[in-house]
Structure 1
Amino acid sequence: MTTANINVRVDANLKKEAESLFSDLGLNMSSAITMFLKSAINHDGIPFDVRRARPNAETREALAEYAEMKAHPEKYKRYRSFAELVEDVAHET
């Protein structure tokens, strides 16, 4: 079987962590990547779910608040500058 090289640039820490994991599994990077490629071919696609990360509850709440503010800007105080906001906050305490 003829082999070919694949050059991939990844974060150095990611590479180090993956090498450690694969070593614990008795694999090297080349064997692990070969396994991934064979699995992708067998699945006729990526062999695991690929989807956008779901925001956590705090982020969902912030996004809902932003949508509300955007839909009803008249309900919320607006500032002409950051300095004006800081002054207003300073006077509230």
Structure 2
Amino acid sequence: MANSLIQLRVDENLRLEAVEIFDKLGIDLPTAIRMFLVRSVLEKGIPFPMKLEDDSITRNAIFAMKEASRLAKEHGISEMTLEEINAEISDARK
């Protein structure tokens, strides 16, 4: 397989910090980059989590709580205590 040259520009401090870490791991920068590329191919994506704060989980939780509150009001149980709700569930299971 033919080799391909990849050139990229990075901040010098970033490069130096990365080289220092890779030296401690016993690999050089080109090997580390090659490892990243191989792992990306194997995983068919970036080989580490890339995310912003997951607001979707928060939004989903808020939506679920609002929906539960709406259903509780709709069924007349919004003012019940947890003990009362558990008693109702227990009675329904008998």
TM-score normalised by the shorter chain: which range applies?
0.5 to 0.7
Q: Deviations over 1:24-45 (max 9, x none)?
A: 1110011000000000000000
Q: Which ranges of structure 1 fall in alignment gaps of 5 or more residues?
A: 55-93
Between Structure 1 and Structure 2, whose CA radius of gyration is higher?
Answer: 2
Partner of 2:39 in structure 1? 39
TM-score (norm 2): 0.53
The runs of 4+ residues in structure 1 deviating greater than 3 Å are none
Q: 5+ unaligned residues in a row in structure 2: which ranges?
A: 55-94
Aligned counterparts of 2:53 and 2:5: Cα–Cα separation in 1? 32
> Which secondary structure state, in structure 1, belongs to the residue aligned with residue 49 of structure 2?
coil
Cα RMSD over matched residues?
1.5
What is the letter of the counterpart of residue 38 of structure 2?
K
Give the equivalent residue in structure 2 for 1:27: 27
Query: Which residue matches 2:48?
Result: 48
TM-score, normalisation: structure 1: 0.54
How much does 1:2 deviate? 2.2
| Number of the residue aligned with 1:13 | 13
Percentage of pairs with the same residue = 39
- Number of residues paired by the alignment? 54
